[in-house]
Amino acid sequence: MSKGFALVTGASSGIGKAYAESLAARGYNLIIVARREDRLQELAGVLRDKYKRQVIVHPADLANHDDLLGLEKLLREREDVEILVNNAGLGAVGPLASVSPDKLENLVKVNIIALTRLCQAALPGFLARDRGTIVNIGSVIAIYPSSGAAGYSGSKAYVINFTRSLQAELAKTNVVVQVIMPGPVLSEFFGDRLPPFPAELFMSTEQLAEAGLAALDQRELICFPTLYEPQLWTAFDDARRALMKAASLTGTPAPRFGLAERK
C-alpha cells in the first residue's frame, strides 16, 4: 500500500537516486526532480517496474528562479506529499580566488536558497495536516571548514543551523525535520577529478540513504551516518552551548583587549 508521495531533489544520480529507490522500497510514490530529464525518466522506469510505484518526473534546475517557483507551487498545492528530501547540491570547490563567481552563485542558489524555499513551501501543508517529514542533506564539512571548499562548507553550515532552528520551531508538532551529515560518498560529486580522500573513507549512496532512513525511524534527527560514537556529537554540542553561554554573559569587551569598561 502506498504511503503517499516523497519528493526528492537531485534525484538523477548519487544520493538523491539512492533515496528515491529506498523510499520506493518503503512504499512511497515518488516525485523526482533534477536537471537531467533523460536520467529521471530512466530512474522512473526502474522504480515503476521494480516497486510498482507511481513516479512523477519533474525536470527543474533549482538555480533557475522560474523552475524553483514551479516546484514550490507543486509543493504548496499537493496534499499527498509526505516527505521532502532536499538533496540537490553543488560543490564549486577550489581556492576561492579562482572559483568561477557564477558557479559560486549557483551553489548559493541551490544549496541554500532552493533548500530554504522548498522547506517553506512544504511547511504550510505539513502543519495543516500535522504530519510530514523534511530531510536536508548536509555534510560533515559544515563543522570542519577546509581550504578549497569555502562556499561548500559555508553552505552546509547553513543547512545544519537552518535545520536545527526549524526543529526547535516545530518541536510541538508532528512535523519532523532531519539533517544528514555524511563524510565522503561515492558519487559524481568530484566529477573527473581524483577524490582527495582514500577509497576506504567513502560510503556508498545506497548505504547513506538506508542509514539516513534508519536514523529517521529511530528519531535520530542529526545523523552522522559513519559516526560510531554518537557521544562525540553530544560533547561537541555541549561545548557549543557552553561557548554560547560564555560569549553572551556580558556586553563588556573581554579584558584581553585592553578597553575601558563601559559606564
Strands (DSSP E) found in 49-165: 55-59, 81-86, 132-137
Please write the tens of the pLDDT for every residue from 198-232.
777 789 999 999 999 999 999 999 999 999 999 99
Give the burial class of 246: count Cβ atoms within 10 A of its Cβ; 0-12 exposed, 13-18 middle, 19 or more buried: exposed
pLDDT of residue 184: 86
Count of residues in the chain: 263
Active site residue 19: no
pLDDT of residue 193: 61
Indicate whether this model's pTM tops 0.85. yes
C-alpha cell at position 95: 581556492
Within 10 angstroms of residue 259's Cβ, the number of other Cβ atoms is 10
Residue 84's DSSP bridge partners are 7, 134
Cα gap 141→126, rounded to integer Å: 30
Residue 207's Cβ-side half-sphere holds a number of Cα atoms within 13 Å equal to 13
The answer on pLDDT for 168 being more than 70 is yes
* Active-site option among 19, 28, 152, 158: 152
C-alpha cell at position 179: 539533517
Instruction: Phi first, then psi: give them for residue 173, nearest 5 degrees.
Output: -115, 175
